[in-house]
Every structure is written in structure tokens, then in C-alpha cells.
Amino acid sequence: MLTHCSFSHYAKKSYEQAKKDKPYDVIIVPGVPYEKENTTSVMKMRIFWAKHLYDSGFTKNIIFSGSAVYTHFVEGIAMKIIADSLGIPQDHSFSETKAEHSTENIYYSWKLAKSLGFKKIALATDPFQSRLLKSFVRKYTPGVTSVPIVFGMIDMDSKTLPAIDTTAAHVPNFVSIVERESFWKRFSGTMGRRVKEELKGKGGSESEIVPSGN
């Protein structure tokens, strides 16, 4: 109960602050496995929250992030297709398709946002994930603001995800990350292993990552 209240307070406080600072050039929405009719309520919640932020003038653009991790479908592409079908203009939604972990969702989407010329960037996900990523965001994607889901603000019971043509999102000869990587390797990925390795491979270090002025 205390944990729920804490996250609820955090979400509402962050939302109100973001409301004062809007609009953002783009928001980043971390991916969720797409499983057609068995797709979880988490994806539904994140997509409709993204649409709420777009419709409410919080953002002009949305990046949906995620590779084909646990299912045959590329999460970022599937989520973009769904969002487009809900009325978000196709030229204002984007897919990041490399990320396999939450830390990569934010990092690779941040890089994509920068390459597209976006400067004012926010992360839109559930408050629990938002809190978990807080220190990572501060260190690796400086300037990114959090606009976590405020539960109860949207009547999710009245919402349904539309059926979509999954051709563009489907990956043939797919192999799940569970089969490709051990539990500990997946855990280290969640903690940002691939991001750190990529930065070191470029001759960089954590200390060289400085605020970008967003």
C-alpha cells in the first residue's frame, strides 16, 4: 500500500511539472512484447498514455522503442502501427528497433531523437519503470524528463487495442532472448551492460557523458 501510494504521488507530481513545461519535442515510450490478442494490459496502458500526451499537447512526436525480444514482432514497429491506427499522424511517430532492455529503450531512443533534431525529450512509461530508470537517465541520457502514467486518469476499461496488419513488424526465423541469453546476461543488459560496452567501444567513458542542455 505504501509503495503504491509512493509511486502514485511520484507520478502525479511528475505529471504536473511536465504539464508546466510542455510541449516536448518528443516522448519516448519503452516497448512491450506484442502478442496479438494476448498482448498485455501494459502495452495497452503505454500506448493510450502516449496518445493522451499527444492529444493533450504534451508532445508533438512519439518514439516507440523495442526490438523483437520475446515474440516474433518488433515492439517499436508494432506499437507505432497501433498508435497510427488510433489517430496519431504517421509522420509524428517513430520506431526505435534495436533495444532489447529498458535501459536500451531510453538510450537508443534518446540517440534517435537527437539525430532527428529533437531537443526537448521526455520518457513516458509506468511510474515503477520510470523510477527504476531515474539514475540511468540522469547519467546516460541527460536532460530527459519523466512523464509517468497517472493511474486513473484514463478509463482503461473502455479502451481496446485495434487489430493491425503485423507484416511490417514480423521477424522470420525469430529466436527469443530467453534462448539466446542466460538469465544473468539478460539481467546485466537490463542494468545497461550493452550501453556501457558501446560507449567504451567508442573510446568514451561514463565521466565523458555531460548534460546536453535540453
In a domain, 214, yes or no: no
In a domain, 167, yes or no: yes
CATH number of the domain that residue 196 is part of? 3.40.50.620
- Sheet holding 121-123: strands in order across? 93-96, 62-65, 26-30, 121-123, 145-146
Confidence check: pLDDT of 1 > 80: no
In a domain, 32, yes or no: yes
- Does this model's pTM top 0.85? My answer is yes
In a domain, 123, yes or no: yes
Tell me which residue range forms the domain holding 131: 2-208
In a domain, 154, yes or no: yes
In a domain, 213, yes or no: no
In a domain, 91, yes or no: yes
105-135: per-residue pLDDT in tens?
999 999 999 999 999 999 999 999 999 999 9
How many domains in the chain? Answer: 1
